[in-house]
Chains A and B, each alone.
Chain A
Amino acid sequence: MVSEGTFDKGMMAMMIANTAASMGTEVHIFHTFFGLNLMKKTAKPKLPGMYKLFTGMFIKKMNKIGLEDYAGQIKLAQELGVNLYACSTTMGLMNIKQEDMWDGVKVLGAAGFLDIALDADSTMFIG
């Protein structure tokens, strides 16, 4: 579950997700509140607070050690079959449409996601 839309929160979720998927684990990520901004095709998340200015430099350093930027992580997640979900209520509140989001993002509500999470062996909350 991801509820914040900054670069670090998004990257943390996607890196853990892509690792888990690489280990043969089924992954489902629910994006709600500001986390939903990360599901927009145009998402270019920044580091939080005063670190915002250093986002570009940070991404360059990550690229050097083989890590993709956020859009690259999403592409990898799509290839690995990570399931991405958008909170339907947040979509309404922030006026985000299905077509604004990455390909394959599924829309559901809290009960729909809980139905998946309640059967999980492990759940994680990222900010």
Chain B
Amino acid sequence: MNISENDLHELLTSRASRASLGGLDELLDRATRTSRPQRPMRQRQLLAASVGVTLLASIVVAITLLTFGPFNPAPSFGPGLAGEPTSSIGPTPSPAVGDIQPTPLASCPVTVPGRWFVPPSGYPAVPPSLYGKVWYGSANLWTMLSPTGDVWSGLPRDAAGLTQKTLWWSQSFDLAREPSPAIAVAGTRLDVAGPTFVAASPGTSVEADFGTAMLVGVLIPTSGCWKITATYRGDALNYVVWVAAK
């Protein structure tokens, strides 16, 4: 069946007319808010920079120790690095839902991605727009967060707590070789002492428009301010989320 150039033009224009032209500036705004990668430094500059950072860090540590004495490690926020202390991963007794009153959202240091991560090739540079999220983390382990910080509300509730699915991506994850990825997710409540949860590995996986992700279901015992930490192949990533009661 032959088709004329005029018909082809008309039919393709008809397809193109499905474009909704509103909100295009928003796409542009999101793009320019993505951090550009640093320009590669030369070897000598790298060495000088690392020596400088080490010296500065030593001075800061010395002054801190002299002033305040030895300190206890505080919870860290933001992308974790390999070997960074993370939440303990093991069964912990958790209070039931409603045992602890949720604190106001303002008191919770919800993670707001300052620098949006651009994943390796093969994944969308930004998550599909329907999710309204941005990438957060590093190539070894990343997730999707709301650009203004995650608030989980309306989660399904059962007798033991609130259930939620968490998604994680890694350049090391290969679905064909690891259908049940060795990823673990743990949670620590920050606004009150005590509650924790753990979802031990293995996780499962999901393939969608955002690429192939590791999927881990978690059971959150109470609403409140939670630090969520995932560990996968020696890398850790954490963020803070507000879990609403309803």
| A, B: real partners | no
